[in-house]
Amino acid sequence: MYDPQSPTLLSGEALKDPYAVYEDMRRQAPVYYDRLAHAWCILTFDGVRQVLKDADGFSSDHLRERAEPVLGARVLAQMTGSEHDEKKVATLRGLAEIAMDGYYLPAVEHTMSRLWEKAEGKTSIDFVSEIANPFAIEVTCRLIGIGQRWQNRVVPWNRSVVEFITLLQKEPHDMSRRLADAGYFRAFILRLLEVRRRQPRRDLLSFLARQGSEYGFSDNEIVALALNIFLAASEPLDKVMSYMVFEMLNMPDVFATVKENPREVSKFLVEVLRLHPPVQIIPRISVGEQTVEGVSIPAGSMVYCLIGAAHRDPRQFKDPGVFVLGREDNLIRSAFSPSAQHVAFGSGLHFCIGSMLARRQLEAAFRVSMDYLDHWQLAADPLEERGLYTRGPSHLRLERTRS
């Protein structure tokens, strides 16, 4: 039985409605110790930002156990200092080369319109499984350099990697299957890297095959980075896209405004990211005793930055639960940079390196979608959500309009 006096992230309630559980926690303290999850939960915007900005006081050492066994080597999120700077610059350069070359974004748009066209003859669809999910996989594979015929093969491997990293409670038996899948995924990427060395194309693996060693990447690190980018780029994409469609169809007046002026899509996206951040938990480990919001956190503790709670902190956002297009406290100007007024992309040293690319992908795909959305409406009881570490729609049911 869930007890609002001692709320926990490991309850069915948290899976059903994490925001209600965050509020129960916030009523207890701005930094709440979840005894079942063995984690200090940071519930305020200032607290979350303080933790994320202090990479010396709060480390990402948990990734040694949570991510390294499946990724096979250390990744950016575990690095600091000059090693982090050099490898981040290299990765950003690789991503920019692809995003800017005038070939990738039209392919993103084309993928989205092809998926909508496939739904043309139907009277109802599940947007998540029929459009958002295949979209996220296809554009991420293209980014990394995984050909279309391999996509069905890598999807279950990627799922295993994601689950290994994000499940809050782990069953040992299931974890060994996920470790095995991750091994197949790494072996596959390593072979592909060798192919791209001989036959380069316009993708991230070809860039790293050509220039990775200049930036100090070993082959194992390139493979780990490719797996890391696969999950970091694809996991949030279908979730944000689905929430964009849900909110748009839910608010006809906002739909009309954005349709009339497609430049408003950026404002719309930023507010969706605030109200429905796909990454809900960013974990850290306290290095030495730390104080957040006046609460003392012992050395070596697990600390969960709760992004959804920070985004509904009434001290930071006016009427935090309400969708407001172009709100003053979530301005578009800085929204995809480390000085953003929200923390959907994190903050500080490990701020997301894909924020600009995600913006381009999502805006391009959404502009294409707006024409198709005229013919669709939300079905009864349209939205089901799942997940806590990362959270998004598992189903979004649409039906064709009669007109």
Residue 145 within binding range of ligand HEM, rule CB under 6 A: no
Show the DSSP H helices in 145-263 as ranges: 151-166, 172-198, 204-211, 219-250, 252-260
392 near ligand HEM, rule: CB under 6 A = no
Residue number, nearest CB to ligand HEM:
354
Q: How far is the CB of 281 from ligand HEM (least distance, A)?
A: 9
The number of beta carbons lying within 10 Å of the beta carbon of residue 183 is 15
- Considering beta carbons, is residue 346 or 387 the nearer one to ligand HEM? 346
The single residue among 70, 233, 340, 368 that binds ligand HEM, judged by CB under 6 A, is 233
Of the candidates 111, 228, 286, 330, which one interacts with ligand HEM according to CB under 6 A? 228
Site string for ligand HEM, 355-384 (x = CB under 6 A): --xx--------------------------
DSSP class of residue 373 equals: H
Task: Tell me how far, at minimum, the Cβ of 161 lies from ligand HEM, in Å.
Answer: 14
Q: Which residues contact 38 (CB under 8 A, 6 or more apart)?
A: 302
What is the rounded CA–CA span in Å between residue 389 and residue 347?
A: 17
What residues from 82 to 111 belong to the interface with ligand HEM (CB under 6 A)? Answer: 88, 95
The single residue among 72, 278, 308, 320 that binds ligand HEM, judged by CB under 6 A, is: 278
Q: Specify the stretch interacting with ligand HEM by CB under 6 A; choose among 124-132, 327-335, 352-360, 375-383.
A: 352-360
Binding segment for ligand HEM (CB under 6 A), chosen from 102-110, 150-158, 226-234, 376-384, is 226-234
Site for ligand HEM in 108-127 (CB under 6 A): none
Task: Report how far residue 300's alpha carbon sits from residue 284's, in angstroms, rounded to the nearest whole number.
Answer: 10
* 270 touches ligand HEM (CB under 6 A): no
DSSP letter assigned to residue 129: I
> CA 125 to CA 287: how far, in whole Å?
48
Nearest approach, Cβ of residue 309 and ligand HEM (Å): 14
End-to-end CA distance of the chain: 47
Tokens 């939300």 found at: 378
Give the separation between CA 17 and CA 403, rounded to whole angstroms.
35
From the list 194-202, 228-236, 327-335, 379-387, the region that binds ligand HEM by CB under 6 A is 228-236
Cross-strand partners of 282: 305
Q: Specify which residues 32 forms β-bridges with.
A: 41
> Beta strands 39-42 and 58-59: pairing type?
unpaired
Say whether residue 244 binds ligand HEM (CB under 6 A): no
Closest residue by Cα to residue 358 from 202, 195, 228, 241: 241
Cβ proximity to ligand HEM: between 327 and 342 the closer is 342
Interface with ligand HEM (CB under 6 A), residue from 141, 222, 227, 232:
232
E strand or H helix that includes residue 339: none
229 binds ligand HEM (CB under 6 A): yes
CB atoms within 10 A of CB 169: 7
192, two tokens:
């592909």
Q: Is 350 in the site for ligand HEM (CB under 6 A)?
A: yes
Residues that bind ligand HEM (CB under 6 A): 52, 60, 76-77, 88, 95, 228-229, 232-233, 236, 240, 278-279, 282, 344-346, 350, 352-354, 357-358
